[in-house]
Structure 1
């Protein structure tokens, strides 16, 4: 079965086309991205602006046509933090459906964490034992812990790299004092999450997923993406600390010249590194394995499972009370 997965994130809209079957390894066939920076199109009232919505509709329409021309039997379209946080999300979803024919589903933060964990578990298998996973997006941070495919703990916190860049690090390069203040604030914000995650049990394997972690690992010496997904990649706490000292003194333009850092992610890689460092510190992790699979693969796997057993694709919808920590998303933190 050829599937299209359309991921509307805080920074980019990403179409991944895969050939997939239950019990098999999803094989990527093509990948198309558009940088929209939707999180920056949220106005002071919390609404996605008309201009932002216009760009979203046009982009989804274009990518849906690519999915059709690529022979996709089905298009799974979902949105995460930026659309989830918008106070006019229902209006935006209705417009997307009316003008493009695409039923865009908003994932709760908890589902985002659960489905990412599923992908990580399938990648490493049962022999990995208990896994703790960390995933950093543009708008949120997901933490999970479990021994099965369904994690015992699945948290989502409003600590994404893009969000914290806008709220804490507006200068380019960011000032040393602001970096120190954000470090201290992150330690406080993660205190409760630390207790919840570790209460489920100590990990046999610590894992990190997401493009942010892949970029950070590359910057600290991990193999490039061209070496293939099965090459072992890790990120150490010590390497991360040294990297932060280096990139926090650079401008975004200079960071974009570094191998493994795209132009659209260069402005927020410092905040992403600080969230990664704080998360590893909170969970007492000195090293994490970098998983090439994350949310999109989790959605594909869950889709295939649900067709086989007749279960619901995802358990929750937008507005789920289990979006742990997201109630603190609003307002600058200085």
Structure 2
């Protein structure tokens, strides 16, 4: 999955509170939240102050119970396309003398950990090194089925830059990734992590020197990463954002547009629904194309309508070879079918659609966009030149040459599976990893003496 915010070193950790586990059932986060600073919330998720002081001597301020929205999470397992079981989580190998590189000036946002969590709770970590970005989440279990992020890191490293042409990771790209991973190693080293899973995806899968690069990462950053296959990547994407599939839904095409690959899962919920969304996956595929690889082949800075159409046709040709693409066609005519996208492409479209002056995850995650709105946003971005895309706060210089390639992949998906609605998810692999790790560890089945703050 692509990185969400250009140059952001750490997303707002508080925005992840309330995410639920694979066994928790379905839930509905607000589609459009106000841009606000973290603080007490009312039961409907809006920021509020405590009740004002009543007139009269000796009167005390009345406290209100604080409610939180609950996001359900659904785990996944392989569908009819394959029976592989989840790979065993890899514990981080952190060298004692691993150096930590300073964050470059492009990283504009400070870390936003939740420093009030119970220190006795077990800590879990998920790291995702993709073709375009390097991201880390560190979390502790919350109420049954939930977790709370206590630290996070995100940086665009463009590990797959030039990979399409050369078949190898370049020295400059590897250097950028190693420096980011050193920071991740420092964050992991600073906490007593109970379990972690550190994954690498398409760039390391396809590069001739991918394994050699990971050996360098282990030697210099002290982190041992596993290269996951495409089926596992698709499963984790569903695990990370399946909570946005509502209970009255009959069919969903869930897709993750990445830097070097794009994962797609077809989900049939028209019969009796089980707690785990993966039980209803009827087909899945992973396209060997993402925003980086497509932009490098067709050009990303100056994209004419003709170039855009050529990109769409290229991806549509790949989808035509997907044998299982018709398995939910019988559900597509009704209003209980929709697309669900998790990637920088769809979150960028959502941010531009909302006219955000600064990207706000709380307003984007869970947002519904109708078909006409998606058409307008793609047409709008296609009408902007490169500098106009750079100037937009939800795109920026790091994504200006990639966003139209992402739109082309999205357009190809929309043509194969037409839908009246698209739901946007700002969540994915890391959240899926954390949910699976905590569920496997049984943290929500135990009665912790000093449980999470309610």
Whether contact under 8 Å (2:251, 2:328) holds in the other structure is no
Whether contact under 8 Å (1:215, 1:260) holds in the other structure is yes
Q: Which residue of 2 aligns with 1:318?
A: none
Relative to structure 1, the CA distance from residue 154 to residue 227 in structure 2 (aligned partners, 3 Å threshold; closer, same or farther) is closer
In 2, the alpha carbon distance for the partners of 1:307 and 1:301 equals: 10
Q: Which residue of 1 aligns with 2:311?
A: 182
Q: Which residue of 2 aligns with 1:66?
A: 187
Instruction: Give the SS at the match of 2:325.
Output: helix
Instruction: Give the SS at the match of 1:96.
Output: helix
In 2, the alpha carbon distance for the partners of 1:231 and 1:188 equals: 30
Q: Deviations over 1:46-95 (max 9, x none)?
A: 12133333332232122110232255444421111111111122222222
Q: Which residue of 2 aligns with 1:317?
A: none
Q: After alignment, is 195-204 or 107-116 more displaced?
A: 195-204
Q: Deviations over 1:101-121 (max 9, x none)?
A: 211011211111111112232
In 2, the alpha carbon distance for the partners of 1:274 and 1:94 equals: 35
Whether contact under 8 Å (2:132, 2:157) holds in the other structure is yes
Instruction: Give the SS at the match of 1:189.
Output: helix
Query: Which structure has more RCO (C-alpha within 8 Å, separation ≥ 6)?
Result: 2
Structure 1 residue corresponding to 2:385, chosen from 234, 251, 257: 251
Whether contact under 8 Å (1:113, 1:144) holds in the other structure is yes
Relative to structure 1, the CA distance from residue 227 to residue 66 in structure 2 (aligned partners, 3 Å threshold; closer, same or farther) is closer
Q: Which residue of 2 aligns with 1:295?
A: 429
TM-score normalised by the chain length of structure 1 = 0.81
Q: After alignment, is 148-157 or 273-282 more displaced?
A: 148-157
Q: Which residue of 1 aligns with 2:351?
A: 218
Q: Which residue of 2 aligns with 1:192?
A: 321
In 2, the alpha carbon distance for the partners of 1:199 and 1:65 equals: 46
> How big is the alpha-carbon RMSD for the aligned residues of Structure 1 and Structure 2?
2.7
Structure 1: gaps (5+ residues): 310-334
In 1, the alpha carbon distance for the partners of 2:191 and 2:364 equals: 26
Whether contact under 8 Å (1:174, 1:249) holds in the other structure is no
Instruction: Give the SS at the match of 2:240.
Output: helix
Structure 2 residue corresponding to 1:119, chosen from 233, 237, 240: 240
Instruction: Give the SS at the match of 1:132.
Output: strand
Pair 1:166-2:166 in alignment: no
Pair 1:152-2:285 in alignment: no
Whether contact under 8 Å (1:143, 1:197) holds in the other structure is no
In 2, the alpha carbon distance for the partners of 1:130 and 1:79 equals: 30
Larger helix percent:
1
Whether contact under 8 Å (1:144, 1:197) holds in the other structure is no
In 1, the alpha carbon distance for the partners of 2:355 and 2:367 equals: 6
Q: Deviations over 1:170-192 (max 9, x none)?
A: 4x321232122222333322223
Work out which of the two has the higher radius of gyration on C-alpha atoms and give 1 or 2.
Answer: 2
Relative to structure 1, the CA distance from residue 263 to residue 67 in structure 2 (aligned partners, 3 Å threshold; closer, same or farther) is farther
Relative to structure 1, the CA distance from residue 75 to residue 233 in structure 2 (aligned partners, 3 Å threshold; closer, same or farther) is same
Pair 1:94-2:224 in alignment: no
Instruction: Give the SS at the match of 1:40.
Output: coil
TM-score normalised by the chain length of structure 2 = 0.61
In 2, the alpha carbon distance for the partners of 1:139 and 1:94 equals: 21
In 1, the alpha carbon distance for the partners of 2:234 and 2:414 equals: 17
